Structure 1
Amino acid sequence: MEVRELLAQTHKLPNVPDIVRELIQQLNNPNADYGDIADKVIKDQTLSLKILRLVNSAHFGLSRKVSSINEAVVMLGMTQLKTMVIASGIAGSVKEVDGLDLKKFWSDSFRVAALAKWYAEKSTGVDPDTAFTVGLIHNIGRLLLHITKPKLAEAIQTLVDQSDCSRSDAEMERLNFTTPEAGQALLALWQFPENLGDTVRYHRQPLSAEAPSPLCATLHIACYINAAIGKQQPLEEVIAMFPSAEAELAGLPANIAAVSEEAMQIESGLDGLI
């Protein structure tokens, strides 16, 4: 089987809003006109309502109710609004998928995104907004597989659950490629920046990439912590097994493993977008 067989089913592929594509294209553009972005959000009633509902939730604890996107920008800042637009647009691109708990899928993706951003803020060379975005879409290939080949996706999950093999090995056995590779191909189809696709492809083994990147290493660490949270691993074990080589590549402080407990308390605050 080849990745193109998944991408050929265009009628099943997620539909990412144009405003989200535009924001992602401008992640590293210091001259981006985010005022224009806010205007476009205002015109998208569904997106506006979801964002305003989240802004007014207890998570943000604002002193008064926010009734417009412009007010949200003033209260939270454009960076936070940009995060919400990307998260809402990506998560809202798919409504229902056979064999996949979308609420859990996006909740996990949101937390990986928040963790990636948290670690990026402590690194010497990773942009936090880019780290958040790639964390959000890091598992998009698995979503693509469930949308286009649900029975194969279920078979792979069964193989992982009933054996000692890794997900990558199970995917190679059943597909002859991995879902991160499929994710890279989908992001290329969407014309997302190339570095995002490369990061998604190699995030499971960032040191194996032809050109290992700090962004990819940061995402790998975020996924490691998210998995540890899911398994309820003891803190001592999380620290002992912390991916130190990836931490060095990411440009993180030498004592970064020691603050794992702080990282494991992070919540995305975005589940209200699901």
Structure 2
Amino acid sequence: MQISTLLKQTDKLPNVPDVVLELIEALKNPDVHFSVIAEKVAHDQTISLKVLRAVNSAYFGLSRKVYSIDEAIAILGTNKLKTMVIASGFVNSVESVQGLDLKGFWYDSFAVAELAQWLGKRTSLVDDDEAFTAGIVHNIGRLLLHLAESELAISIQEQIRQGKGSRFRIETEALGFTTQDAGKALLDLWKFPPELGEAVKHHKRPFAEQQPPQPLACILNLACYFNACIRNEREMETVHEGLPLAVVKAAGITPLTLDDVDQALNLDNELSYIMY
């Protein structure tokens, strides 16, 4: 199979709003016009409601209710608005997926995104907002496979569940590529910044093809590691002992202490409940 086979099924691709794609293109533009973004958000009813819900949640801790989308946008500011719009846009990009627990999928994506943003704040090599976006889309190739070839995706998932091999090996044998490769191809099709696609493609094995490895891919790798540790309820000391130190160094992060690890393991993933 070719990745292009998946991408040609345009009726099955996630439907991401234009405002989200425009925001992602502007991720590295510090001079992005706030008023233009705000106007686009205000004209998208679904995203507007999600932004209002988020602003009025405990996540932002405001002392009073906000009822105006214009006021909500002003309170959030450019960076938080980007996060809200991108998160909302992707969560609403598909309504149902055969063989995939969509709520669990987005919960996991948000958890990785929050961890990636937390890690991004601890290095000068990665923008933390870009790291959040990378976390949201890090597994988009798996979603694409379930949308375009659901029976094959379910078969792969069942083989992994039965312990017949790693996802990397099973996907490569069944497809000729991995869902990380498919994710990069989809992000390229959407004209995302190239570094986001590269991070998605290489985050599982950041040292495999890139020398030196891309810092954003390393951040995603660490975020996925921490998320797996949380999911499997590993003890803090075990998590710290298992840290891939070469990846930590390549991400530009100073060695993480036990206190840092404890903070990462206790990050609140409330945003996933707000945006879903």
Indicate whether the TM-score tops 0.5. yes
Q: Distance in 1 between matches of 2:85 and 2:139?
A: 19
Q: Secondary structure at 2:207's aligned position in 1?
A: helix
Which residue number in structure 1 is paired with residue 6 of structure 2? Answer: 6
Q: Structure 1 residues 118, 165: CA separation in 2 closer, same or farther (over 3 Å shift)?
A: same
Deviations 1:184-218 (CA, angstroms, capped at 9, x unpaired): 01011111111111110000011123341111101
Q: Root-mean-square deviation (CA), in Å?
A: 1.3
User: How many angstroms apart in 1 are the aligned matches of 2:192 and 2:137?
Assistant: 11
- Indicate the residue corresponding to 1:273 in structure 2: 275
| Higher alpha-carbon deviation: 262-271 or 235-244 | 262-271
Q: TM-score, normalised by structure 1?
A: 0.96
Distance in 1 between residues matched to 2:257 and 2:3, nearest whole Å: 37
Deviations 1:94-137 (A, max 9, x none): 11101111111001101111110100101121101110101100
**Structure 2 runs not aligned, ≥5 long:** none
**Distance verdict in 2 for CA 1:140–1:257, change over 3 Å:** farther
Distance 2:5 2:172 in 1: 15
Contact 1:134 / 1:200 at 8 angstroms: preserved in 2?
Answer: yes
Bigger drift between 78-87 and 255-264 goes to 255-264
What residue number does 1:197 align with? 197
* Sequence identity percentage: 50
Q: Quote the residue 1:86 is aligned against.
A: 86
Segment drifting more, 202-211 vs 84-93: 202-211
1:51-79 C-alpha deviation (Å, 9 max, x unpaired) = 11122123322100011232223333321
Moved more, 72-81 or 244-253: 72-81
Q: Distance in 2 between the 1:181 and 1:96 partners?
A: 23
| Equivalent residue number for residue 161 of structure 2 | 161
Alignment partners' CA distance in 1, 2:64 and 2:185:
44
Counterpart position of 2:141: 141
Aligned to 2:100: 100
Distance 1:87 1:224 in 2: 21
Report the CA distance between 1:36 and its aligned residue.
1.1
Alignment deviations for residues 113-171 of structure 1 (CA, whole Å, 9 cap, x no partner): 11101001011211011101011000000000000111111111111111252111111
> Which segment is superposed worse, 137-146 or 259-268?
259-268
Alpha-carbon distance change, 128 to 23 in structure 1, aligned in 2, over 3 angstroms: same
Letter of the 1:101 partner, please give it.
D
Q: Counterpart in 1 of 2:240?
A: 239
1:58 aligns with 2:58: yes
Residues in 2 aligned to 1:32 and 1:49: alpha-carbon distance in whole angstroms: 23
Q: Distance in 2 between matches of 1:201 and 1:108?
A: 18
- Specify the alignment match of 1:216 in structure 2: 217
Aligned length: 274
When structure 1 is superposed on structure 2, of 136-145 and 9-18 the one drifting more is 9-18
Residue pair 1:235, 1:260 contacting (<8 A) in 2 also: yes
- The yes-or-no answer on 1:41 pairing with 2:16 is no
Runs of 4+ in structure 1 over 6 Å off: none
Alignment of 1:59-74 (within 5 A): 59-74=59-74
Aligned residue type for 2:253: L
Separation of aligned partners in 2, 1:40 and 1:72? 14
Q: Could you say which residue in structure 1 is the equivalent of 2:179? A: 179
Instruction: Say whether the 8 Å CA contact 2:237–2:258 is kept in structure 1.
Output: no
Gaps of 5+ in 1: none
User: Aligned partners of 2:265, 2:248: CA distance in 1, in Å?
Assistant: 16
CA distance in structure 1 between the aligned counterparts of 2:223 and 2:245, rounded to whole angstroms: 13
Q: What letter corresponds to residue 193 of structure 1 in structure 2?
A: P
Cα deviation for residue 269 of structure 1 reads 2.6
TM-fit CA distance, 1:256: 4.6
- Confirm or deny: 8 A CA contact 2:120 2:127 kept in the other structure: yes
Amino acid aligned to 1:205: R
Matched residues in 1 for 2:224 and 2:53: separation?
A: 28
Q: TM-score, normalised by structure 2?
A: 0.95
Aligned to 2:264: 263
Distance in 1, matches of 2:79 and 2:71, equals 14
Question: Structure 1 CA distance, aligned partners of 2:256 and 2:48?
Answer: 41
Rounded Cα–Cα distance in structure 2 between residues aligned with 1:49 and 1:91: 13
Do the aligned partners of 1:117 and 1:131 also contact (CA within 8 Å) in 2? yes
